[in-house]
Amino acid sequence: MKLPPLSLYIHVPWCVQKCPYCDFNSHGKKGDIPEAEYVQHLLDDLKQDLQYVQGRKLHSIFVGGGTPSLLSADAYKRLLDEIDFLIGFEQDIEITLEANPGTVEKDRFKHYVEAGINRISIGVQSMQSDKLKALGRIHDEQEAVNAALEAHLAGLNSFNLDLMHGLPDQSLDDALGDLSAAIALNPPHLSWYQLTIEPNTQFASKPPKLPEDDILWDIQEHGQALLAEQGYEQYEISGYAKKGFQCRHNLNYWRFGDYLGIGCGAHGKITLPQQNRIIRTAKIKHPRGYMDLTKPYLDSMWEVTEEERPFEFFMNRFRLQEPCPKQEFIDFTGLKVETINTMLQNGLDKQLIEDLGHSWLVTNKGHRYLNDLLESMV
C-alpha cells in the first residue's frame, strides 16, 4: 500500500439564502458571519488532523460551500498562510474557492488572488433570468457575466463556471443557449450538471415541472457535442475542460487520493499504509455544534474494509474518461488484482470495460450505463 497525494477540503456553511434544489450543508445566514471565529475553528480542527499528513505537502485545496465568497480575502490570507506553515504546499498547488455571482463586487477576486487563491469556481447555473428566478438564485445574468469578467482580470490560473441543465420547463434551445452564453465567457473549465431533485429540499416537497426524458436525452447529446466542438474535453461525468485545465482537486478524489476535510460536515479520507488501513472522517455538521468549544470537531470516523475497497475505488475511478492503471488499484487499495477478477468479469463480458493489459478502460457504453456497471460489481 502506498500514500496517494494529499488534498484539503474546507467547508464554509453559510449562504445568503437557501436555494430550493440544494441539499448541501448550507444555511441561510442570519446577521453577520462569525468570520474570524470560524477561521480559528478551521485551524484548530486542522491541527487535530495533522497526524494524517504523514510527511506529505498539499497537492490541492478546495474551499466549498455554502458560499465561501461571503468570507473576506483577509480571512483567507490568514487561513492559507497558517495552513502553509502547518503542512506546506506543493509548488504547483491548486487552490480553488467557490463563489456565488451575487456576492462578487469589483476586485473581490483580485484580493482573493493576493490571499493565495489561484482558481475560482463560479455558480452561474443558468444564463436566463426566468430560470435563475425558478432556481431561487440571488443573482441575475449580468452579474454572472460580470463575475466571469472579474475572473479573467484577477490573475487566476484558471476558473470554472457551474451550469445546470434539465431545469424547470427548459427546452433543448434554452439549454444550448445557456451553454453557448457560458462558452462565450471563455472559461477554462465548465461543470455541467443535470439538475436532480434531492430529498429534503423545497423542490422535493413541491416538485417543479422538469423536461421529459427525451428532451433530457437530446440536451445531453447536443450539449456534449457543442462542448466538444468548442474545445472542452469531457474528462468526468460533469467535468469539461480546455487542454491542461482539468481540476486537480477533483481528479485527486476520483483517482482515490487522500484528503483532509475541515469545517462543518466536511469529510476526509486517509490512507495509513503502515497499518494497511483506510479511514474516513466526518466533522460535526451544524455550525452551532461545530463551533461549540465543549465538543470535538470530529463527529465520526470509520474504516473502509478490504471488502469495501474495490467498489469504493472503482466508483470514483470509473467516473473518469482516462484509463485506470492496475498499479494504482494495487498501491491505493493494498489489494491484489486477482481478488477482483470475478467482480470485473460481468463488465468485461458486456463490453462496459476493456482490459488494456496494464490498465482498465471504461468504454463509451460503460460510461452511459455507469450505474449498471457499478451495480454489477457488488
Ligand X SMILES: C[S@@+](CC[C@H](N)C(=O)[O-])C[C@H]1O[C@@H](n2cnc3c(N)ncnc32)[C@H](O)[C@@H]1O
Residues that bind ligand X (CB under 6 A): 21-22, 24, 64-65, 67, 98, 100, 123, 125, 162, 164, 193, 195-196, 198
Q: Which of 33, 46, 59, 67 binds ligand SF4 (CB under 6 A)?
A: 67
Q: Binding partner of residue 196 among ligand X, ligand SF4, none, CB under 5 to 8 Å per kind?
A: ligand X
Cell of 173: 434551445
Phi then psi for residue 34, to 5 deg, are -75, 70
Look-up of cell digits 434554452:
174
Given the complex with ligand X, which of 39 and 70 has the nearer CB atom?
Answer: 70
Helix intervals (H) in 27-116: 35-49, 73-86, 108-115
Of ligand X, ligand SF4, none, which one sits near residue 195, judging by CB under 5 to 8 A according to partner kind?
ligand X
Closest contact distance (angstroms) between CB of 28 and ligand SF4 is: 8
Q: Which is nearer to ligand SF4, 122 or 172 (CB)?
A: 122
Secondary structure (3-state) at 375: helix
18 is in the binding site of which of ligand X, ligand SF4, none (Cβ under 5 to 8 A by kind)? ligand SF4
When CB distances are held under 5 to 8 angstroms depending on the partner's kind, the choice from ligand SF4, ligand X, none that residue 287 binds is none
The separation between the first and the last C-alpha atoms of the chain, rounded to the nearest angstrom, is 23
- Spatial CA neighbour of 96 closest among 115, 124, 74: 115
Nearest alpha carbon to residue 248 among 340, 353, 320: 320
Q: Residue 119 forms beta bridges with which residues? A: 96, 158
Pick out residues in 99-128 that bind ligand SF4 (CB under 6 A): 100, 123
Residue 368's identity, in one-letter code, is: R
In the complex with ligand SF4, which residue's Cβ is closer, 123 or 188? 123
For residue 150, the partner it binds in ligand X, ligand SF4, none, with Cβ less than 5 to 8 A by kind, is none
Residue carrying the nine cell digits 470509473: 318
Of 18-26, 32-40, 264-272, 356-364, which part binds ligand SF4 (CB under 6 A)?
Answer: 18-26
Q: Which of 22, 86, 370, 374 binds ligand SF4 (CB under 6 A)?
A: 22
| 26 counts as binding ligand SF4 under rule CB under 6 A | yes
Tell me if 191 sits within 8 A of 161, measured CB to CB: yes
Residue nearest to ligand X (CB): 123
Task: Please give the Cα distance from 373 to 14 (Å, whole number).
Answer: 37
- The CA-based angle 338-349-222, given to 5 degrees, is 115
The one segment of 39-47, 61-69, 212-220, 341-349 that binds ligand SF4 by CB under 6 A? 61-69
DSSP assignment letter at 13: -
Which residue type occupies 240? Y
Site residues for ligand SF4, window 206-225 (CB under 6 A)? none
Given the rule CB under 6 A, which residues bind ligand SF4?
A: 15, 18-19, 22, 24, 26, 65-67, 100, 123
